[in-house]
Amino acid sequence: MNGKTPHLVQYQGSKRILAPQILQYMPYRFNRLIEPFAGMAAITIAAARLGRANEYIINDINSPLVKILQSAIETPKILIDKYRKLWEEQFAYIDGSIEHFYKVRDDFNNGDQTAEKMLYLLARCVKGSVRYGSNGKFNQSPDKRRNGTSPKTLQSNLYEISYYLKGKTKFFSTDYREILDCAHQGDIIYMDPPYQGVSNVRDNRYFSGIDFDDFVQAIEKLNERRIDYLISYDGKCGEKQYGMELPEHLNLKKVMLNAGLSSQSLLLGKRETTYEALYISPGLQMFENSPHIETQYSLFNTMSL
């Protein structure tokens, strides 16, 4: 095991870089970590590497993403063997790997949505960016500069992720509100919903967006039940603000996390830093952990003892 948190593939919107900052606002030890909008589960993997929770729940409405994670964690050898076979096929195509990518994408869109096909599309597409059209079909293009993550590189990360999470993780692909209803005091929920700052339309990384008012109501219910949570939501880059802030009546603390220089602004000859907002639930506002803080309960749970 190396000193870095492993990941399967580059995934646009991943919180892997921000994970150390986000984990500072969680108790050092707690019962379950729940990710209702998991994506590639960067926060779950980072927390599991440090042994922060006893159990983990991974959910995403995009079921092929959940298939990747479940296969990686529960049957890593099977997944890497199937991925290797698929990855090597691209070099046998007369017209090159681009033709192979579109063949795999067509198969995927026609219903053959296996974990290895989704993983290959992510590893091979532009910026590791999931994109779906209005018809619900994967429509991202291949990155013509590279052939995707090699099986050798992928294998070591995959086995490491499995080591941290196998036997401790449950997987779902359902509406986020159903997952929130399953939470108990002693759990921590980390939410990274479809990023509203991308555009004025729904985030097409997802089959459907989430309604702002519905999301606020779901948070209100968590407050009423004294469930602890963190939310990555809006942000800013330079003078540009992305997204609508969550309302004050939720009593959340908002902190801005430094996500580094914007690659888009660098292309335009600017040096602008991107900041992403993290909202902290009332029960977690006492925590900004160092490795020496050992506590199992949030403020809410301490008050209920």
Residue 256 CA to residue 227 CA, distance in Å, equals 22
Q: Is the four-CA dihedral 18, 149, 119, 78 of positive or negative sign?
A: negative
Average pLDDT over residues 10-39: 88
For 241-273, what is each residue's pLDDT tens digit?
A: 777 889 999 999 999 998 865 545 433 445 567
For 152-208, what is each residue's pLDDT tens digit?
A: 989 999 999 999 999 999 999 999 999 999 999 999 999 999 755 443 344 444 445
Residue 99 CA to residue 87 CA, distance in Å, equals 13
pLDDT at 283: 92
User: Using 50, 70 and 90 to split pLDDT, how confident is the model at 226?
Assistant: very high
- 259 Cβ contact partners less than 8 Å away, ≥ 6 residues apart: 17, 18, 235, 273, 274, 275, 276
Which of 43-57, 103-117, 261-275 has the lowest average pLDDT? 261-275
Closest CA to 197 of 139, 138, 264: 264
Residue 150 CA to residue 154 CA, distance in Å, equals 6
Measured from the Cβ of residue 234, the count of other Cβ atoms closer than 10 Å reads: 20
Tokens 């096909």 sit on residue: 117
Higher pLDDT, 133 or 47: 47
pLDDT at 303: 36
The chain-wide mean pLDDT, for the chain, equals 83
Which of 48-52, 75-79, 134-138 has the lowest average pLDDT? 134-138
pLDDT of 302 strictly over 50: no
Residue 202 CA to residue 25 CA, distance in Å, equals 29
Angle 132-128-14 from CA coordinates, rounded to 5°: 100
**HEC readout, the chain:** CCCCCCCCCCCCCCCCCCHHHHHCCCCCCEEEEEECCCCCCHHHHHHHHCCCEEEEEEECCCHHHHHHHHHHHHCHHHHHHHHHHHHHHHHHCCCCHHHHHHHHHHHHHCCCCCHHHHHHHHHHEHHHCCCECCCCCECCCECCCCCCCCHHHHHHHHHHHHHHHCCCEEEECCCHHHHHHCCCECEEEEECCCCCCCCCCCCCCCCCCCCHHHHHHHHHHHHHCCCEEEEEEEEEECCEEECCCCCHHHCCEEEEEEEEECHHHHHCCCCCEEEEEEEECHHHCCCCCCCCCCCCCCHHHHHHC
pLDDT of 23 strictly over 90: yes
- 142 - beta bridge partners? 125
Tell me the percentage of the chain whose pLDDT exceeds 90. Answer: 56
Domains for the chain: give ranges and CATH numbers. 19-49+174-198+212-304 (3.40.50.150), 71-155 (1.10.1020.10)
Residue 208 CA to residue 206 CA, distance in Å, equals 5
